[in-house]
Amino acid sequence: MRLLLVTDTYPPARISGALQMRDLAQALAAQGHRPLVLTPALDGVERLESEGDVQVLRVRAPRTKDVPYWRRTLAELVLPWILLRGLRRSALRDDHWDGVVWYSPTIFLGPLARAVKRQHACRGYLIVRDLFPDWAVDAGVMRKGALPYRFFKWIERFQYRQADVIGVQTPSNAALVANDAPAGTRIEVLHNWLSAPARPAPDACPPLGVLDGRINFVYAGNMGVAQDMDGFVTLAKRMRDRDDVGFVFVGRGSEAVRLKDEAKGQPNLLVMDEIDPSVLPALLAKCHVGIVALHPAHGTHNIPGKLLTYLHAGLPVLARVNPNNDLVALVEGEEVGLVVPGDNPALLHAHAIRLVDEIGLRSAMARAGIDLAARMFSPESAVDQLVRALE
């Protein structure tokens, strides 16, 4: 199948969504399909590239990451039209598409999907990885019923109307999406996916300073309001008397600068800038537990891509998430880590102590995690599901 994959993030961007779409495109090509990734050009240079058997069309567009909220909203509002114009002006303008797949966030790509489907009489698959704007209401960033909320809900519902099939992360999210999608829309669980990383080079790890050689808890990913990293900052403070334990936060996001300031007076906490994905396996090899952080007030469900990164690396997880999140049952049922549902600092501390002191527990969870990643979260299984839906 000749497939159009549309996403607002793609390598060299380092966030999990970019890596997932890269792995999906590569897995599609490996199975004989012909994918084109349509994405903004981070450097502003418009071009058509070939990365192995995957074509990537990078279109010059306004920045949507690491900018003020109002600028991001305006940039994402015009993004589908800019990407569509770039496609129609490219050398591929006469290609026929057998299907269009688009990734959310962002929620603004509905007009592009509608235009492609109408022109090529093809089916569309929407990959939904978070439920905005509802998670913003849960986190206290937005007020339900206010004008911005109603605007974003209209955009979200418009996007749902363009999809023949919507793939969500968890069963509970399927019910939430059904409240806003047109009646009869096919909604299914499409698990996150991630390829196993290459073996890390031993000298590739960034310096950890005094944390080198300790039992390290690591968080790798976006550090924003939705993650509420303060719960783990508090945990690090409670464990500062353990000179065999460290905490490493690595990534970007709206809270990153503030967290760096928090770490200045805390010798067991290191906050680092985002690193290249090729370097991340070397960092994880020097760590022992992966941190999953979701704001306890969330009402939606999320299986973050970073969870898959930890599983592949053989790290058990320590998760602090919203109550009733489907991730709780997954982590506990598969025995790949320990979970705190809600805001419970005492339980988070107790779980952390167990993961530090019980080496056998960590080892058993690490083996279970590697098995789970291969069994449930492979790009190949995601491709099989997508192709069946689009045929």
Q: What angle do CA 77, 79, 81 make, to 5 degrees?
A: 100
Q: Is residue 68 part of a domain?
A: yes
Whole-number pLDDT of residue 135: 81
Whole-number pLDDT of residue 218: 98
Question: Does residue 195 contact residue 381 with C-beta atoms inside 8 Å?
Answer: no
Q: Is residue 303 part of a domain?
A: yes
Question: Same domain for 186 and 269?
Answer: no
Q: Is residue 389 part of a domain?
A: no
Question: Same domain for 359 and 221?
Answer: yes
Q: Is residue 36 part of a domain?
A: yes
Q: Is residue 331 part of a domain?
A: yes
Question: Same domain for 295 and 355?
Answer: yes
Judged by DSSP in three states, 218 sits in strand
Question: Same domain for 224 and 284?
Answer: yes
Which CATH number characterizes residue 101's domain?
A: 3.40.50.2000
Q: Of the candidates 162, 190, 218, which is a domain's last residue? A: 190
Q: Of the candidates 190, 220, 246, which is a domain's last residue? A: 190
Question: Same domain for 38 and 186?
Answer: yes
Question: Same domain for 68 and 215?
Answer: no
Question: Same domain for 101 and 165?
Answer: yes
Whole-number pLDDT of residue 369: 95
Question: Same domain for 217 and 177?
Answer: no
Question: Same domain for 108 and 152?
Answer: yes
Residues 62, 40: Cα–Cα separation, whole Å: 8
Whole-number pLDDT of residue 177: 94
Q: Is residue 386 part of a domain?
A: no
Q: Of the candidates 190, 222, 239, which is a domain's last residue? A: 190
Residues 330, 338: Cα–Cα separation, whole Å: 11
Whole-number pLDDT of residue 335: 97
Q: Is residue 326 part of a domain?
A: yes
pTM of the predicted protein model: 0.78
Domain containing 84 equals 2-190
Whole-number pLDDT of residue 390: 95
Question: Same domain for 186 and 213?
Answer: no
- Amino acid residing at 63: R
Question: Does residue 172 contact residue 326 with C-beta atoms inside 8 Å?
Answer: yes
**Residue 173, number of CB atoms within 10 A of its CB:** 24
- Per run of 10 residues, the mean pLDDT along the chain (length 391 residues) is 96 87 96 97 92 96 82 92 96 96 96 98 95 84 90 96 95 91 94 81 81 96 89 96 96 91 92 88 94 86 84 95 89 96 96 97 96 90 95 89
User: Sign (positive/negative) of CA torsion 11, 16, 19, 25?
Assistant: negative
Q: Using the 8-state DSSP alphabet, how is residue 207 labeled?
A: P
Q: Is residue 237 part of a domain?
A: yes
Number of domains in the chain: 2
Question: Same domain for 168 and 281?
Answer: no
Question: Same domain for 184 and 213?
Answer: no
